[in-house]
C-alpha cells in the first residue's frame, strides 16, 4: 500500500495555509517536512490524520492505517508507563508492549507513574506508543522535542526499523534526525496565495 | 472500548474524588435543603422525591466538564479520534464511565438520603427504580453537553446553561415516578415515558455527541 | 428561472435584502399601527375578561413569532449542515436574539394578563412553563454562538444544538403538560377549535400577527446583513494579518 497526496490545500481557522501539496510514498520511505513556524506543518499532519477536512485535493490512503504523534503525548499522569502503553496497545488491537519499551529504553521505568517522568522520558513513552499501534503510516509532529542526543538516536533507529518492516513515516522537524535516506519536502514555497477579491465576496473564506 | 472504560474507571479511582465527590455533594445538598426549609417532617416528606431528583441531577452536572476536558488537555482525545474506535463508541463509553462513577453511586445512596428526608415507606423502591432508569439519560445528555463545550476555555457555566434545559423532561418524569410512588398512586405512565426517554437518548444522542466532538477536534 | 439558492451568496443576499428591507419595515409598522389601534380602541370589551383581553394583541403574536423563530432557526441550521451556505447559519444566529426577546414579551404580557385573570403574576401553567423552557433554550443557543471563536465551528455546533434542542423542547412540552394541567385558556387561534375568539377580535388580531411576523422578518434581514458584514470584516482582518 503506498501513499499518494495530490494537490492538497489546507486551511487553519478559515485562513488558507498551503496549496498544491503533492507527494508520494511507497513502503519503506520516509518524508521530512520542513518549513518555518506557522507554515502549516501541524495542520498538514492533522489533515493527513483525518482530524480536519482538506480544502481541496485527494488523499489515496486509508485513514485507518495512520498513527498520529501530536505535540501532546496523550499520557495519563495517574497511570504507570506500562499501563499507559498497554491501554494504547489494547485500543489498537492488543500488541505486545515489550518491544516498544525496549526500543525506547523504558524497561527500568515501566512501573513508574507517568506523572513522575521527566519531559524527555514522557516523550519517549509517547513515541513508544507508535510502535504498539501496529499502524503502517506514522505522522509525527516535532517528535524530538525535549529529547537528548541519545534518545534522538533511539528514535531514529525505531523509525528505521519501522521503515525496514514496510512502514512509512511523515515527520515534521527542525533538527537533523540522522535519516539521510528520507526525502525532504519544504513547505515554504507552497504557501497559499491570498484568495481573490471576487471569490472572497462569494464564499467569504 | 473495554480498555477505554477500564482506563476511565482506573483514572476516576486514582485521581481521587471520582466516586466520592458527587456523592458528598449530594449529601450536602440534601442537608442544605433540610436547613433551608426547616426540620418539619411532613413538609420534607412531601418534597423529598423532588429534592432527591434535583440533587441527583446537580451532582451529575458537577462532574460533566471532566468527561472530555482532561483527555483534551493531555492530547489523548485526538489520539483516540485517530484510533480504530468509532467516535460514537468513544462517546458512549465515556457516558457509561460517567454513569458508573457518578450516577450509580447516587442511585445506591438515594434511598439512604430519602431516610434523612423522611420519605414515606412505599416511595423507596420507586425512587430507586426511577433514578436507576433516569440517571443513564442524565449521563448521556451530559456527555453531549460536554462534547459541545470541550474546546472552550470557560465552558463550565455554558455547559450548565445548555444541559439543564435538556434535563427537564427526564426530571419531570423521574420525579413524578418517585412522587407518585411515595403517595401510592398509579405510576405506570410516567415510568414508561421515563424509560422511553432514556432508551431514545441512549440510542440517538451518541451520534450527535460524536458529530460535535469531531467538529471540536478540527 | 434562477434557483432559490442564488440568495445564499452573501453578496446577492445583501443586495436583495437591502432592496426589500424598507418595504418590509414600512409594511410591518403599518400593520402594527393599524392592528393595535383597531384592537385597542375599536373592539368591544370581553363580557368576562373586560378590557384586559386587549393584551391579546401583543401576547398572541409575540408567542407565535417566538415559537416560529425557533422553527426558522431549525430550518436554517439544517440548510447549513446539508448545503453549507454561510448565510443560512448567520440568519439562524441573527434570529435567535429576536426570538428570545419575543419569548420574553410573550411571558411578560402573559404575566400581566394573568394577574387580573388568575389573581397571580406567575403560575406553573404548562404553556407559561414551556415558554420559560423555550427561553432557556434560546439563551443556551445564543451563549454557545458567543463562546465559540471560529465562525464555521460555531455554526456547526449551534446547528446540532438547535436540532437536539428542538427534540428536547417538544419532549419538554409534553412533559410539562403531563406535569400540570394548568389554567391557561386553549389556543386562541386554530383551525378546528370550537372555542375560538369571536370575529370582532379575530381580524385585528390577524393584522397584528402579520405586523409581528413582518417585524421579525425585517429584524432578521437587518441582523443577517450585520452578521455578514461582521464576518466579512473579520475575514478582511485575517487577510490583513496574513500580509
| Cα(B178)–Cα(B187) distance, integer angstroms | 9
- Nearest Cα of chain A lies from the Cα of C24 at a distance, in angstroms, of 26
pLDDT at C1 over 60: no
A34 vs B147 pLDDT, higher one: B147
Q: Give the pLDDT confidence score for residue C142 in this predicted structure.
A: 95
* Residue C229 forms part of a structural domain: yes
* Residue C5 forms part of a structural domain: no
- CB within 8 Å: A13 and C150: yes
- Nearest Cα of chain B lies from the Cα of A64 at a distance, in angstroms, of 7
Q: Give the pLDDT confidence score for residue A205 in this predicted structure.
A: 44
- CB within 8 Å: B10 and A79: yes
Strand A168-172 versus strand A30-34 pairing type: parallel
CB contact set of C75 (below 8 Å; sequence gap of 6+) = none
| pLDDT average, residue stretch A18-35 | 86
Residues in a beta bridge with A67: A138
C138-193: pLDDT as tens digits: 999 999 999 988 888 899 999 999 999 999 999 988 888 888 765 566 555 544 44
Residues in a beta bridge with B178: none
| pLDDT average, residue stretch A16-24 | 84
Q: C198: pLDDT confidence band, cut at 50, 70 and 90? A: low
* Residue A204 forms part of a structural domain: no
Q: Which residue has the cell 460533566?
A: B64
**What is the average pLDDT value for chain C, to the nearest integer?**
85
Candidate from A178-192, B21-35, C187-201 with smallest mean pLDDT: C187-201
* Residue A205 forms part of a structural domain: no
Q: Give the pLDDT confidence score for residue C141 in this predicted structure.
A: 95
* Residue A90 forms part of a structural domain: yes
Judging contacts by C-beta atoms under 8 Å, the chain B residues touching residue C144 are 148-149, 158, 162
Residues of chain B with pLDDT under 50: none
A102 inside 8 A of chain C by CB: no
CATH of the domain at A182: 3.40.50.300
- CB within 8 Å: A52 and B80: no
* Residue A203 forms part of a structural domain: no
* Residue A202 forms part of a structural domain: no
Give the 3-state secondary structure of residue A183: strand
Identify the H or E element spanning B175.
helix B155-183
Give the 3-state secondary structure of residue A193: coil
**Of A120-129, A179-188, C35-44, C48-57, which one has max mean pLDDT?**
A120-129
| ipTM score for this prediction | 0.89
- CB within 8 Å: C150 and A14: yes
Q: Percent of chain A beyond pLDDT 90? A: 0
Domain count, chain A: 1
DSSP A12-27: ETTEEEEEEEEEEE-T
Domain limits for position A64: 3-195
Q: Give the pLDDT confidence score for residue C192 in this predicted structure.
A: 45
* Residue A179 forms part of a structural domain: yes
* Residue C189 forms part of a structural domain: no
Domain count, chain C: 1
What does each C-alpha distance from C95 to A131, B13, C86 come to in angstroms?
51, 46, 14
Q: Give the pLDDT confidence score for residue B18 in this predicted structure.
A: 64
| Chains near A (3 or more Cβ pairs under 8 Å) | B, C
* Residue A169 forms part of a structural domain: yes
Domain limits for position C161: 22-45+53-183+195-242
Q: Give the pLDDT confidence score for residue C189 in this predicted structure.
A: 53
Q: Give the pLDDT confidence score for residue C133 in this predicted structure.
A: 93
A85-116: pLDDT as tens digits: 888 888 888 778 888 888 888 888 888 888 88
Q: Give the pLDDT confidence score for residue A195 in this predicted structure.
A: 59
Cβ(B104)–Cβ(B132) under 8 Å? no
* Residue C13 forms part of a structural domain: no
Instruction: Identify which of A153, A58, A176 has the alpha carbon closest to the alpha carbon of residue A105.
Output: A153
- CB within 8 Å: B205 and C140: no
Q: Give the pLDDT confidence score for residue C8 in this predicted structure.
A: 76
Q: C194: pLDDT confidence band, cut at 50, 70 and 90? A: very low
* Residue A200 forms part of a structural domain: no
* Residue C88 forms part of a structural domain: yes
Q: C108: pLDDT confidence band, cut at 50, 70 and 90? A: very high
Q: Give the pLDDT confidence score for residue C185 in this predicted structure.
A: 61
Amino acid at each position: 500500500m503506498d501513499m499518494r497526496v495530490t494537490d492538497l490545500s489546507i486551511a487553519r481557522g478559515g485562513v488558507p495555509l498551503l496549496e498544491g501539496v503533492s507527494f508520494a510514498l511507497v513502503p519503506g520511505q520516509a518524508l521530512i517536512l520542513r518549513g518555518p513556524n506557522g507554515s502549516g506543518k501541524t495542520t498538514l499532519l492533522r489533515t493527513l490524520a483525518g482530524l480536519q477536512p482538506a480544502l481541496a485535493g485527494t488523499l489515496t490512503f486509508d485513514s485507518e492505517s495512520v498513527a498520529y504523534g501530536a505535540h501532546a503525548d496523550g499520557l495519563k499522569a495517574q497511570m504507570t508507563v506500562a499501563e499507559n502503553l498497554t491501554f494504547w496497545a489494547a485500543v489498537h488491537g492488543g500488541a505486545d508492549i515489550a518491544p516498544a519499551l525496549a526500543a525506547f529504553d523504558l524497561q527500568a521505568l515501566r512501573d513508574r507513574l507517568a506523572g513522575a517522568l521527566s519531559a524527555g522520558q514522557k516523550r519517549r513513552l509517547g513515541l513508544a506508543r507508535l510502535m504498539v499501534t501496529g499502524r503502517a503510516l506514522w505522522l509525527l509532529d516535532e517528535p524530538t522535542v525535549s529529547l537528548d542526543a541519545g534518545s534522538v538516536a533511539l528514535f531514529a533507529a525505531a523509525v528505521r526499523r519501522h521503515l525496514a518492516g514496510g512502514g512509512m513515516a511523515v515527520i515534521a522537524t527542525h533538527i537533523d534526525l540522522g535519516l539521510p535516506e528520507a526525502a525532504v519536502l519544504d513547505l515554504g514555497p507552497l504557501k497559499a496565495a491570498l484568495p481573490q477579491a471576487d471569490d472572497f465576496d462569494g464564499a467569504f473564506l | 472500548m473495554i480498555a477505554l472504560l477500564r482506563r476511565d474507571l482506573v483514572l476516576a479511582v486514582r485521581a481521587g474524588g471520582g466516586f466520592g465527590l458527587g456523592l458528598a455533594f449530594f449529601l450536602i445538598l440534601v442537608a442544605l435543603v433540610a436547613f433551608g426549609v426547616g426540620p418539619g417532617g411532613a413538609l420534607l416528606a412531601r418534597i423529598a422525591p423532588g429534592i432527591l431528583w434535583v440533587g441527583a441531577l446537580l451532582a451529575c452536572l458537577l462532574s460533566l466538564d471532566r468527561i472530555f476536558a482532561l483527555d483534551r488537555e493531555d492530547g489523548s482525545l485526538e489520539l483516540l479520534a485517530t484510533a480504530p474506535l468509532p467516535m460514537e463508541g468513544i462517546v458512549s463509553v465515556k457516558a457509561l464511565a460517567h454513569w458508573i462513577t457518578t450516577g450509580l453511586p447516587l442511585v445506591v445512596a438515594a434511598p439512604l438520603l430519602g431516610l434523612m428526608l423522611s420519605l414515606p415507606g412505599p416511595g423507596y423502591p420507586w425512587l430507586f427504580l426511577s433514578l436507576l432508569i433516569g440517571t443513564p439519560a442524565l449521563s448521556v445528555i451530559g456527555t453531549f453537553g460536554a462534547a459541545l463545550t470541550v474546546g472552550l476555555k470557560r465552558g463550565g457555566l455554558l455547559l450548565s446553561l445548555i444541559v439543564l434545559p435538556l434535563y427537564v423532561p427526564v426530571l419531570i418524569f423521574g420525579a413524578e415516578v418517585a412522587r407518585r410512588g411515595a403517595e401510592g398512586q398509579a405510576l405506570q405512565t410516567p415510568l414508561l415515558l421515563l424509560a422511553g426517554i432514556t432508551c431514545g437518548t441512549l440510542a440517538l444522542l451518541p451520534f450527535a455527541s460524536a458529530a460535535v466532538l469531531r467538529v471540536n477536534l478540527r | 428561472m434562477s434557483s432559490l439558492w442564488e440568495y445564499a451568496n452573501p453578496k446577492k443576499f445583501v443586495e436583495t435584502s437591502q432592496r426589500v428591507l424598507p418595504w418590509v419595515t414600512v409594511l410591518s409598522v403599518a400593520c402594527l399601527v393599524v392592528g393595535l389601534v383597531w384592537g385597542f380602541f375599536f373592539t368591544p370589551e370581553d363580557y368576562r375578561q373586560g378590557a384586559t383581553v386587549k393584551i391579546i394583541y401583543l401576547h398572541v403574536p409575540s408567542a407565535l413569532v417566538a415559537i416560529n423563530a425557533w422553527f426558522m432557526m431549525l430550518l436554517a441550521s439544517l440548510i447549513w449542515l446539508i448545503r453549507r451556505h454561510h448565510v443560512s447559519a448567520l440568519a439562524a444566529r441573527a434570529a435567535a436574539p429576536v426570538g428570545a426577546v419575543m419569548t420574553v414579551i410573550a411571558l411578560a404580557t402573559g404575566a400581566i394578563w394573568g394577574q387580573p385573570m388568575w389573581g397571580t403574576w406567575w403560575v406553573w401553567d404548562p404553556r407559561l412553563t414551556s415558554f420559560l423552557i423555550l427561553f432557556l433554550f434560546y439563551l443556551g443557543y445564543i451563549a454557545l454562538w458567543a463562546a465559540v471563536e471560529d465562525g464555521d465551528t460555531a455554526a456547526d455546533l449551534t446547528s446540532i444544538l438547535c436540532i437536539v434542542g428542538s427534540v428536547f423542547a417538544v419532549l419538554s412540552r409534553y412533559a410539562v403538560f403531563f406535569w400540570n394541567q394548568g389554567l391557561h385558556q386553549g389556543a386562541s387561534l386554530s383551525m378546528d377549535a370550537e372555542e375560538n375568539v369571536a370575529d370582532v377580535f379575530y381580524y385585528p388580531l390577524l393584522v397584528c400577527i402579520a405586523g409581528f411576523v413582518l417585524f421579525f422578518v425585517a429584524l432578521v434581514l437587518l441582523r443577517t446583513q450585520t452578521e455578514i458584514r461582521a464576518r466579512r470584516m473579520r475575514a478582511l482582518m485575517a487577510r490583513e494579518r496574513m500580509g
